[in-house]
Chain A
Amino acid sequence: MHREIEPGFYWIQECGPHREGIAEAVRGRGGTWCPPGRELHVPQNAYLLRGERSLLFDTLSPEGGELIIEELDRILAGASLDYLVVSHPDVPHAGNTARILRQYPEAQLVAPGEGDTHALYHLDQALKVVPGDELDLGGPIVRFHEATFLDAALHVWMTEERTRTLFPVDWLGFPHLDGECLRFVDELDVDIGIERLTEFHSRVLFWFQYVDVDKTRAEVEHLARKYRPSRIAPAHGLVIRNDIEHYFELMKDVVSRVAESGRVGVL
């Protein structure tokens, strides 16, 4: 499944199976955003940017192996893939790296440059990027950034400068329901509230339960000022196009909630 967000900017989504366990847990805690009978998805997203050169950001999970190849073949239609960026070597993000490189052997693998254990992830031959590095795709220009909120040490965030899109990987994700797949948040009939965001972050960034809340909230404020994005393209949620400041505010409250209530499970 893919959607062209705008010319040359593609969103490829692997929704995976209905996460009944999470849905039941939400309802068990009195959550109303996932009514009985609805499917709950925690997606994996990959993003393809095309200018004179093309770049794929993340690879989906091993279960999405056929999907990512089919979608790439469909979108690229015989053209080359020039860069394959792995945000971090976590299975649901990097699980199809070898498969994509077999299909598109000319693609340059791009990996986070910080850290010193690349060989443990088969990333020692990758082009390593550090915060501030840019790739000009002949149209889109991507810039790499420190991954502020993360679940692995080798990690990089990215922005696309022309559209001011922030790719915050595991941050600002949230589950969606059947019928919401590949829809922009502003196209939904409901708001993505703090409950959905907390459900996700209390599982994925479970370490929020141990943080200094003021300091971490201040970091969210800093990110809002630093990036001032027009669009958020998360790895595990829907693309946000409007009212971005509102979501940064919600994310401050997510930190407070997880710190107060702890984690609700794993992902």
Chain B
Amino acid sequence: MADPRRTDSAAVAETGMTVRLTEDVEWISECYPVGDRHLHVSLYLIRCPGGNIVVDSGSFYHRESIESRLTAATRGQGIQALILSHSDYPHSGNIPSFRREWGDFEIVASCADAGVQGLPYARRSRIGETLEVLGREFTFLDPPLADRSHTTWVYDRESRVMFVADGFGNYHETGTCRLTSSELAEEDRALGIRDFHAGALKWLRYVDPPKLSGQLRRLLEEHPVSFVAPIHGNPIAAANLERYLSMLEASVQEIADGYVVAEQSDRQSEESR
């Protein structure tokens, strides 16, 4: 007998509501215009026997579209759980609206103090632990590419999709909004990857690139992926991951090399005199 989830997922993906990544993980792609390019502000839907889980909620900027897509994609069932990577508004902004629409579903969020983050009703996830959500196991990872203290990356152990919040993003050209890495011309992405990380993760100007790269690669080795699923970029299939990582590492090196601290610059000038 065919898996009903698979049939449903494929049919929905064909209608354009979602983009299917794996058998039961779908990407709900939303975009925000930045100059003549776009920035994804997406979320992901996981269909499991215990119900529908979303990873992040998207931005209130896209509220109507997201709720409409989720309603259609779930055939009116809505969502039964939400896993939040962090409380930044473009990731968490629709939680109150989802709760009005679909009731008090379970919310799993990383933070030391849920009340301070405005999520008093959330179940806390801790970096390094694995939690069951609607019967499915998720591991919460310490994210090498993030800004907020309480951000976690979320590894779905069944699909092997790694949800990476603000990491692995890229600006993209119009017309490529709903494409995954295997459909994109990778050579055209380098600039979008560099510009995204330079703008979103400003601390990269201080980074020691080999340290960061080593940690990223260790994490990916320990958690083999089918897809890397960023909120602010096109999803990256395992087959294209090495190429993306090369572009990311080159970007990080360029960002770090491009920033010289005034104090060091002054000292170098004095030494050269």
Contact = CB atoms under 8 A, between A and B. Distances in A.
A267 B127 CA distance: 12
A204 B263 contact: no
Contact of B32 (A119, A204, A219, A267): A119
B264 A204 contact: no
A225 B211 contact: no
Interface of B is mostly: loop
Contact of A62 (B35, B118, B256, B261): B118
Interface stretch (A3-11, A146-154, A181-189): A146-154
Interface in B193-220: 199-203, 206-208, 211-212, 215
A119 B61 contact: yes
B32 A117 contact: yes
B263 A210 contact: no
Given A61-B115, A117-B32, A266-B150, A153 B202 contact: yes
Given A91-B118, A210-B215, A219-B261, A19 B112 contact: yes
A62 B113 CA distance: 12
A211 interface: yes
A164 interface: no
A219 B148 contact: no
B251 to A, nearest CB: 15
A120 B41 contact: yes
Nearest to B127: A266
A132 to B, nearest CB: 15
A226 B262 CA distance: 10
A121 B115 contact: no
Nearest to B92: A91
A222 B262 contact: yes
A152 B206 CA distance: 15
A206 B149 contact: yes
Interface in A17-47: 17, 19, 21-22, 42, 44
Contacts of A92: 116-117
A226 B208 CA distance: 24
How many chain A residues sit at the interface, stated as a range, is 35 or more
Interface string A196-222: 000000011111011111111011011
B204 to A, nearest CB: 8
Interface in B3-56: 32, 34-35, 39, 41
Interface residues of B, number: 48
Interface stretch (B83-91, B173-181, B236-244): B83-91
A120 B206 contact: no
A51 interface: no
B116 A61 contact: yes
A62 B116 CA distance: 6
B118 A95 contact: yes
Nearest to B200: A153
Contacts of A82: none
B170 interface: no
Interface in B216-238: none
Contacts of A207: 146-147, 201, 203, 207
A257 to B, nearest CB: 15
B32 A120 contact: yes
A16 B206 contact: no
Interface in B140-167: 142, 144, 146-150
A20 B34 CA distance: 43
A210 B212 contact: yes
A21 B112 contact: yes
Contacts of A105: none
Which of B93, B144, B147, B199: most chain A Cβ within 10 A? B147
B149 A152 contact: no
B115 A218 contact: no
Given A153-B147, A153-B202, A266-B150, A62 B115 contact: yes
Nearest to A222: B263
Contacts of B34: 116-117
Contacts of A226: 262
B115 A151 contact: no
Contacts of B60: 122
Contacts of B126: 266
- List 6 A-B pairs, minimum CB-CB distance, nearest first: A222-B263, A62-B118, A211-B206, A212-B208, A61-B116, A218-B263
24 contacts: A16-B115, A16-B116, A17-B115, A44-B116, A61-B118, A62-B115, A91-B117, A92-B117, A95-B118, A117-B32, A117-B39, A119-B32, A120-B61, A120-B90, A152-B88, A153-B199, A203-B149, A211-B203, A211-B211, A212-B206, A222-B261, A265-B112, A266-B112, A266-B127
Given A207-B146, A212-B256, A218-B267, 10 more contacts: A21-B112, A61-B117, A89-B88, A90-B88, A115-B199, A149-B203, A207-B201, A211-B208, A265-B112, A266-B149
